[in-house]
Amino acid sequence: MKILVTGGAGFIGSAVVRYLINETDCEVINVDKLTYAGNLDSLADVAASPRYSFYQVDIRSKNALDEIFAAQQPDAVMHLAAESHVDRSIEGPQAFIETNIVGTYTLLEAARSYWNRLDAPRQAAFRFHHISTDEVYGDLEPQDPAFTETTAYAPSSPYSASKASSDHLVRSWHRTFGLPVVLSNCSNNYGPFHFPEKLIPHVILNALQGQPLPVYGDGAQVRDWLFVEDHARALYAVVSRGEVGQTYNIGGHNEKTNLQVVHTLCDLLEERGAVKPEGVAHFRDLITFVKDRPGHDKRYAVDAGKIHAHLGWTPQETFETGMRKTVDWYLENSPWWARVLSGDYALERLGEHATESVEA
């Protein structure tokens, strides 16, 4: 199977690429614009594989996508490229509209044009897998049942609204044009190679530097936490064995408040003997409550029963084991995150890692 992965230099995308190269026989074509969140350092251990190729391309560039489809002849697309940070979507929504909506439309059209030229057996085998988020469903009250694949959409932020729009586009391309699609909606991911602006790496790195650990509001917002490597396994199950036209929710079965997450991280850093900056007695002392962000969702919870029943997937990591692996990774891989914090990772975007480049 030859898979075109968009956004393969991002957090979840790079986990998918590493999984496909290290755990399967698939060939991978990584298409990534390399925005601030794209980091080729995250792919250093697979970049030399003969089954891996990279194109620096904006998914809004139809001509560049057409060239890649024609040259590479993929059997499937795994579409992960997206702007995904809620705070950034509040500060500047345009990039989210451009990438998540216009970019998805452009990729769908490139994929449809390519798919229409395939012979019947390859058309039947082709898959367009759209990777989305549980945030499209809005939020839940404490007593509400978890999101299922039939939960009505009620996005709260410009980010989740743009992802909801892209989900609708993908489903309409299936119904109207017959493009063989599968979709998945995941809960909050965490794990190695996570960009430091997100909650878990932000807390770990701030703690190590003796900086405040900001918690929105009272920290009572609930999220379901999914270890990124479990998610990569789930995504491969969906693209390789999922039923055309179906949606699969992917969750970690780990509902925790944001404050519980921060407390867990502080306690793991203590347990692991992380060096405290001068003047810090306990990592928890750095917790600082800040003004809540606009439209902050109260609770997400994902019912992942369908993917377990239909595809046999279940997460391997518990919250405790996954968080421990995550903290250990950041403690042991300071060169990776130091290059992100300094900005050096962005200065060598192509370098020796890239095998291909197409003008967008």
Catalytic annotation, residues: 134-135, 159
Strands (E), 97-179: 127-133
Q: In what order do the strands lie in the sheet with 127-133?
A: 52-56, 27-32, 2-6, 76-79, 127-133, 181-186, 247-250
219 token code pair: 């920290």
Q: Give the bridge partners for 188, in sequence order.
A: 225
Give the burial string for 179-193 (b: 16+ CB within 10 Å, else e): bbbbbbbbbbbbbbb
Beta bridge partners of residue 314, listed in sequence order = none
Q: How far apart, in whole angstroms, are the C-alpha atoms of residue 90 and residue 130?
A: 24
Cα–Cα distances in Å, from 251 out to 118, 188, 230, 287, 328?
A: 35, 8, 9, 27, 23
Residue 159 identity: Y
What value does the CA radius of gyration of the chain take, rounded to a whole number of Å? 20
Q: How far apart are CA 179 and CA 76, in angstroms?
A: 11
